[in-house]
Amino acid sequence: MVIVAAPRAGVLALQGDVREHLGVLARLGADAVPVRTPADLVSVDVLVIPGGESSVIDKLSRAFGLQGPVRQRIAAGMPVYGTCAGLILLADRITDAAPGQQTFGGIDVTVQRNAFGAQVDSFETELEVPDLGGPPVRAAFIRAPRVVEAGPDVQALASLDDGSIVAVRQGRLVGTAFHPEVTGELRFHALLLDLVRA
């Protein structure tokens, strides 16, 4: 009998709601660890880029020497899931980037930051996500981005009633404009872990 070790799942722990993602991954049976250094990154099978402030995470990733290693792991096929600011950081393009702001890239999309307004405009809604199966996803949008343009290899996983794309997948990269870790939704993180098991 072959015993398969639990995937080692990292959460980029520079800024944002790191603890919530670590909790979800642990609930799903992963060995969940914070990633703050290139050495931490080397040790993980998958990575979550949490919500927070995308321009701050970008600056800190460069200050901590993580930008290049994260880009390399993405290019090498590591499964990565980004929520809110994480989606912005996985996008190849930003329409309204802060001065000098960069991304890790990997998903052929253009995103608009804070597309739904300020913190006071945060909202929750139910989203149909056919690829996940089961009931609708309860999605929390907090100063959320949206995808305004997607390349031909990008799969739109979920959209709002107005047509705004708010969840995407390209290969082993997944991004959502909302925060499933806030509403107790586990299926996106489970999808990430399934990608490494596959």
Give the active site residues. Answer: 84, 179, 181
CB-based contact 44:70 (threshold 8 Å): no
* Amino acid at position 133, single letter: G
> Taking Cα atoms as reference points, which of 197, 157, 161, 164 lies closest to residue 180?
157
As given in the structure block, the two tokens for residue 11 are: 């959460």
Q: Output DSSP code: residue 80.
A: E
Give the burial string for 114-150 (b: 16+ CB within 10 Å, else e). Answer: ebbeeeeeeeeeebebeebeeeebebbbbbbbbbbeb
d(CA 78, CA 173) in angstroms, rounded, equals 8
User: At CA 153, angle to CA 145 and CA 8, rounded to 5?
Assistant: 70
Q: How many residues does the chain have?
A: 198
136: three-class secondary structure by DSSP = coil
Cα 186–chain centre separation: 13
